[in-house]
Structure 1
Amino acid sequence: MTQPAYDIVAIGNAIVDVLAPADDGFIAENAMTKGAMQLVFSAEEADALYAKMAPGQTVSGGSAANTIAGMAALGSRCAFIGQVADDELGDIFAHDIRAAGIRFDVPARAGQPTTGRCLIFVSPDGQRTMNTFLGASHYLPAQALDRDLIANSAWLYLEGYLWDPEEPRAAMRAAIEVARAAGRQVAFTVSAEFVIDRHRGAFHDLIDAGLIDCLFANQEELVSLTQAADVEAAIAAVSAKVPLLVVTFGPDGAMAVAGGERTRIAAEPIDKVVDTTGAGDLFAAGFLHGRIAGRSTEQSLRLGAICAAECIGHYGPRPIADLKALAASI
């Protein structure tokens, strides 16, 4: 097996986040579920909701893209595959990801729909309520895959959010085949309970076929995936089928299970939770960077917790502190 040119390549939604504060009354009035993510199915609906937003911030986002941005900040060699449109938001996304030192070569898509965006309402307690118009990211074709890039990356990282539309789902299946043929490892995040509800069978097929080397889920997602009675039963069921299972418990820390051995760590202390957007993405960034760098499971979990704590201490899903300096504390 040749030495990979990249530590990781990710495939995910290429979207731009718009974040603004909102109180619980606003969220209820607009029929949102606090702390959850719902899809917006038209640009017109997204525009109408955007018009109601308070002044906020615009930053590049997308679950897998956030993870890759965190890993690049830690020093991993990263690449990203995702679809933007040939518009202003697409230019913003492409600039931000390349400025982070991440390879991004997929050409922008002409015409409609526009680049995807996520309208995020941040509550006073830091909870984020997301409304996502996926736009052009739904149209990532298998032809956009750089197969040499995937074969020359030690890890392939996939986000469940992108499993819904047919084109990117086919692209991700093709990417798994390329990675497997090259002897590379595959990591997968189930992303959200509503995604699991729609694709539970397909996710189980991937797991049962032995195509996933590392699975990320929070405790609620894992229970939803397995439909087990509780999280302990869910952990037992999934850890028997994947080499590495990583489960997050929010303020109660995280756990990794490998070869039947469990490793658990506490969450990193933080003065104030400002915005939980991207916390899970940055946890995955720290953990995967640790694994690739040869750190122990416990050290990798701690690095994930440090990255997540940095993320929730400010608005936005991308790191603003020096993650390498924070990682030096381990």
Structure 2
Amino acid sequence: MQIYISGSLAFDRIMTFPDKFSNHILPDKIHILNVCFLVDGLDEKFGGTGGNIAYSLSLLGEKPVLLSQVGKDFSLYDAWLQEHGIGVAGIRTVEQEFTAGAYITTDQSDNQITGFNPGAMKYPCQFDMTIIDPDDALGIISPGNLGDMMDHPRYYRANSIPFIFDPGQQIPAFTGAQLAEALGGAEILITNDYELEMIMKSTGLTKGEIVDRVAYLITTLGEKGSVVNSKGEETPVAAVPVSVVADPTGAGDAFRAGLLKGLAMEKTVVEAARLGSVCAAYAVECKGTQEHRFTLEEFTKRYEASFGPLE
């Protein structure tokens, strides 16, 4: 089965300020704020929801196709994706823009100041969806270009292609009507518990009404695991124990990769969510969203230690 991932590709540029922001901000001058923080260098990581999901899927033996958009500075990231067997034919290059980038500065109290440049993400990916084989395809729409996040579900619905809708941090950018339309007919709507509340508030739909519009609703709960809801049923899925919590940032994207792998293997949604829990554990144990590594043998052993035989 060919997996198509609609979502952002971005550079995470991480800086550390060796002091506290509060020591350099005058409260009585906040209305004319003008500050400069001298940081201890810069660490650049590959990121974006689409890239993160695709990376973990590559570790699981899949060769997903990314549907995204990038800028004139993408060459190193492009080589990284191709090195891991990730399809780049669906990535549009917008030459006059930079690839989306997050500029994150963290102080000694773990306070953060982030600037985000959407860059090429302002443009639709313009992928020719008609080349997708409806009988052998699975899609996920994760946070990225808003037009793609509306258009791709429409195409999948019209052509009976199963898809996961994962609006994440783009929820506030949609109207309630747009969200209700985009999630309708999804095989799975996946959110964390806070995002689910935001969707309910924006659309005016109850949890039960949302479940009626999709085949499954998965709610992730961090260290408490996740819950799979279908009509009349609710099944908890445990989180997998981790050796160390190094960075939970990429855990959600890794979970989605494991979930997609399970669906591609024709597992039940609950079984697929368990694969997601295992993949998320690897991500939590590493700093960065595409830094974790595992072999399929290691992954299987870890799955079986938590959930029993993987058949």
Shifted more, 115-124 versus 131-140: the winner is 115-124
Shift of residue 53, structure 1, vs aligned partner: 4.3
CA distance in 1, matches of 2:24, 2:194: 26
Shifted more, 95-104 versus 256-265: the winner is 256-265
What is the match of residue 84 of structure 2?
A: 100
What is the match of residue 199 of structure 1?
A: 174
Equivalent positions of 1:247-258 (< 5 A) are 247-258=219-230
Q: Does 1:13 align with 2:33?
A: no
Say if 1:107 and 1:296 are closer, same or farther in 2 by CA, change over 3 A. closer
CA distance in 1, matches of 2:62, 2:197: 31
What is the match of residue 185 of structure 2?
A: 211
Contact 1:128 1:276 in 2 (8 A): no
Say if 1:107 and 1:243 are closer, same or farther in 2 by CA, change over 3 A. closer
Say if 1:161 and 1:76 are closer, same or farther in 2 by CA, change over 3 A. same
Say if 1:95 and 1:224 are closer, same or farther in 2 by CA, change over 3 A. same
Say if 1:20 and 1:132 are closer, same or farther in 2 by CA, change over 3 A. same
Q: Does 1:314 align with 2:286?
A: yes
CA distance in 2, matches of 1:25, 1:309: 31
Which structure has the bigger radius of gyration?
Answer: 2
* Alignment coverage as a number of residue pairs: 289
Contact 1:19 1:120 in 2 (8 A): yes
Q: Give 1:75's match in structure 2, choosing from 38, 52, 61.
A: 61
Contact 2:55 2:81 in 1 (8 A): yes
Equivalent positions of 1:178-197 (< 5 A) are 178-192=155-169, 195-197=170-172
What is the match of residue 160 of structure 1?
A: 143
Query: What is the CA deviation profile of residues 76-103 of structure 1, one whole-angstrom value per residue up to 9, with x for unaligned ones?
Result: 231001111122xx11221122211111
CA distance in 1, matches of 2:108, 2:67: 34
CA distance in 2, matches of 1:17, 1:138: 17
Say if 1:189 and 1:123 are closer, same or farther in 2 by CA, change over 3 A. farther
Say if 1:17 and 1:150 are closer, same or farther in 2 by CA, change over 3 A. farther
Shift of residue 274, structure 1, vs aligned partner: 1.4
Mark the runs of 5 or more structure 2 residues left unpaired by the alignment: 26-34, 304-311
Shift of residue 258, structure 1, vs aligned partner: 2.2
CA distance in 2, matches of 1:28, 1:151: 58
CA distance in 2, matches of 1:125, 1:296: 43
Shift of residue 151, structure 1, vs aligned partner: 4.6
Say if 1:64 and 1:72 are closer, same or farther in 2 by CA, change over 3 A. same
Query: What is the CA deviation profile of residues 115-146 of structure 1, one whole-angstrom value per residue up to 9, with x for unaligned ones?
Result: 1112245688999875421111212353x435
Q: Which SS does the other structure have where 1:245 is aligned?
A: strand
Query: What is the CA deviation profile of residues 26-48 of structure 1, one whole-angstrom value per residue up to 9, with x for unaligned ones?
Result: 49978xxxxxxxxxxxxxxxxx9
Contact 1:243 1:258 in 2 (8 A): yes
What is the match of residue 84 of structure 1?
A: 70
Percent of residue pairs identical: 21
Contact 2:5 2:50 in 1 (8 A): yes
Q: TM-score, normalised by structure 2?
A: 0.81
CA distance in 1, matches of 2:236, 2:57: 22
Shift of residue 152, structure 1, vs aligned partner: 6.9
Q: Which SS does the other structure have where 1:155 is aligned?
A: strand
CA distance in 1, matches of 2:111, 2:17: 10
Q: Does 1:227 align with 2:201?
A: yes
CA distance in 2, matches of 1:130, 1:152: 42
Q: Which SS does the other structure have where 2:69 is aligned?
A: coil
Which amino acid letter does the alignment assign opposite residue 299 of structure 2? A
Shift of residue 198, structure 1, vs aligned partner: 2.8
Contact 2:254 2:283 in 1 (8 A): yes
Equivalent positions of 1:121-132 (< 5 A) are 121=105, 131-132=115-116
Say what the alpha-carbon RMSD is for the aligned residues. 3.1
Query: What is the CA deviation profile of residues 132-170 of structure 1, one whole-angstrom value per residue up to 9, with x for unaligned ones?
Result: 21111212353x43530475751111123432xxxxx1x
Contact 2:70 2:121 in 1 (8 A): yes
Contact 1:222 1:234 in 2 (8 A): no
Contact 2:258 2:276 in 1 (8 A): yes
Contact 1:19 1:316 in 2 (8 A): no
Q: Which SS does the other structure have where 1:82 is aligned?
A: strand
Contact 2:54 2:64 in 1 (8 A): yes
Query: What is the CA deviation profile of residues 264-321 of structure 1, one whole-angstrom value per residue up to 9, with x for unaligned ones?
Result: 1222222321112211111111112112212233332222111111111111112522
Greater RCO, CA 8 A, separation 6+: 1
Q: TM-score, normalised by structure 1?
A: 0.76
What is the match of residue 307 of structure 2?
A: none
